[in-house]
Amino acid sequence: MDYRPGAILDPERAAMASELLPDGMIAAEADARISFLNRRAVQVLGMKPRDLVGRDIREALTLRDSDGTDWWEVTDPWRGLNIRTGHREKFLMLEGGLEVLVTAKYLRPARNQPVNRVIVMVRDAEARRRLEADHAALISTVAHELRSPLTSVKGFSSTLLRRWDRFTDDQKRLMIETIEADADRVTRLITELLDISRIDAGRLQIRPQPVDVAAVYGRHVERAVASGQDRERFAVDVPQDLPEVWADPDRLDQILSNLIENAFRHGDGVVTLAASKACGDAQELLESKGHHRQGIDLVVSDQGKGIPDDHRDIVFSRFWHGASRGSTGLGLYVVKGLVEAHGGQVQVESAAGGGAQFRLSLPSEPPDYLA
């Protein structure tokens, strides 16, 4: 079989091969007439083969840019420059308003020769549109999350500057504390967005060291109490002989802050911070990643309604926020990325009291490059 560019392939074999492609494929010959299309192309285009085969592809498929420009007039594969090899994927619109993703490949019998075949690949744009809708929703949510604290900061700071002498020291302190809390909220959101970009790009850096779990839990309890939570809403359960966990202290604080805030926002009752030696599937996973010593399970649970079983597979996906619409849906996605960057795993379970329980399985030994 001749595999040179522009060579005439055995039609039967070519047709069989095209049906294995996940995208629609349309072939047009030197005269621009359609000679073949696979079944996926028929599905994507919503047109019958008899309405396409034998027709000029430029007339059968009226592809236009978002501004209405005829794509065939712009590209002109048959009369354009002889050095072009095709076009990268692009959003185009068919007659009737159907949007598709189109890629084109120009085949020539030899270098600098006129095109004797054009292969057009078409893909349904619905998945891309859904992704764009998710991104638009994220931008809208993030804009709202940023606007609310910034409005508060602007209001209190302007009021203090204009009417400083009219307020008592206690009133000034309250407004400054509110400004600080809102600034922390903005910083946390920006940190989450930066971490997501690093997680997605595989550039998240972890600097593990031995960390005392009981001390970390204690700091988080004191921090929550200082911010207005009742101490009675916390229960800490850490065995005295529990080994230290190997983790990046700042990242571990970020993980626990997200989970504890989640418990207060969406849960109810007492929030339990527990730890124990890893066992079962969690320990097997750690061992499969080269952590041969005992791992540590860190558990954050509440007594709320919990997370439905059918949501547990998607709870750590980006943009998930369950029934609540007051969050960006990024917190648990970041938690999962940070835990996995440590070589561990995180899973959601049902707590003993019926609420949500998040279990972090982390190594209790240094990574190989520190051992």
Q: Edge-to-edge strands of the sheet including 86-93?
A: 34-37, 24-29, 117-124, 99-107, 86-93
Question: pTM, whole model, 2 decimals?
Answer: 0.59
Tell me how far apart the alpha carbons of residues 56 and 127 are, in angstroms, rounded to a whole number.
Answer: 29
Residues in the chain: 371
Q: pLDDT tens digit string along 32-69?
A: 999 888 988 888 888 888 888 999 999 988 888 877 88
Below-70 pLDDT ranges, the chain: 1-12, 14, 131, 134, 138, 141, 280-294, 319-329, 368-371
Identify the structural domains of the chain with CATH numbers, from first to last.
Answer: 11-124 (3.30.450.20), 129-201 (1.10.287.130), 209-363 (3.30.565.10)
209: its two tokens? 């060291």
CA distance linking residue 52 with residue 38, whole number of Å: 12
State how far the Cα of 362 lies from the Cα of 182, in Å rounded to an integer.
Answer: 32
Q: Which residues contact 161 (CB under 8 A, 6 or more apart)?
A: none
Per-residue pLDDT at 6: 44
pLDDT of residue 255: 93
